[in-house]
C-alpha cells in the first residue's frame, strides 16, 4: 500500500493539435511512484490523447509520439524502475470539438534522506 496519493483533473482544450500538445506538471517531491490511474470520462471518444512523462522522459508509453486514448475508461499503470525525483507530467492533446477533463491519480511512497546523495530510503510506516 502506498504512503500517499495525489489526484488532479486536467482540462484538455478542444482542438489542441498533436503538433502542439499541452503539458500538465505533477510535482510529488522525492518519491517512488507505485501506481498511476488515468481516467478518460465518457464522451472522450478516443480523441483525447495522453502520454505520462517522468523527469522529462517518456514513460507511458515509453516512446516519443506515442499516446494513449480511451473513452469511459480508467487505465491503471503499475509503476516500477522509474525516477524517484517526483517530477511527473502529462502531455495531452484533444482532436475533439469539446474540452475534456482527464483525471490522474499518483499513488506513491515518500523518500527520506539526503537528496545530494544516492542514499535515499523509502519511508516505512
CATH of the domain at 40: 2.60.120.380
Q: What is the pTM (predicted TM-score) of this model?
A: 0.86
Q: Is the residue at 122 inside a domain? A: no
CA torsion, points 40, 42, 44, 49, in degrees to nearest 10?
10
Q: How many domains does the chain have?
A: 1
**Residue pair 22/91 in contact by the 8 Å Cβ criterion:** yes
Q: Tell me the three cell numbers of residue 2.
A: 502506498
In the block, which residue shows the cell 495531452?
92
> Which range marks the domain in which residue 12 is found?
4-113
pLDDT, tens digit, 9 for 90 and up, residues 17-75: 999 999 999 999 999 999 999 999 999 999 999 999 999 899 999 999 999 999 999 99
CA distance 120 to 125: 15
Q: Is residue 17 part of a domain?
A: yes
Amino acid at each position: 500500500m502506498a504512503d500517499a496519493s495525489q489526484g488532479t483533473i486536467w482540462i484538455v482544450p478542444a482542438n489542441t493539435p498533436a503538433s502542439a500538445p499541452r503539458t500538465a506538471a505533477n510535482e510529488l517531491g522525492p518519491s517512488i511512484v507505485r501506481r498511476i490511474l488515468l481516467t478518460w470520462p465518457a464522451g472522450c471518444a478516443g480523441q483525447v490523447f495522453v502520454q505520462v512523462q517522468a523527469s522529462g522522459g517518456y514513460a507511458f508509453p515509453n516512446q516519443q509520439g506515442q499516446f494513449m486514448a480511451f473513452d469511459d475508461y480508467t487505465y491503471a499503470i503499475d509503476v516500477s524502475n522509474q525516477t524517484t525525483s517526483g517530477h511527473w507530467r502529462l502531455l495531452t492533446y484533444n482532436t475533439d470539438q469539446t474540452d475534456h477533463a482527464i483525471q490522474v491519480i499518483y499513488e506513491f511512497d515518500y523518500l527520506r534522506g539526503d537528496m545530494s546523495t544516492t542514499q535515499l530510503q523509502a519511508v516505512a510506516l
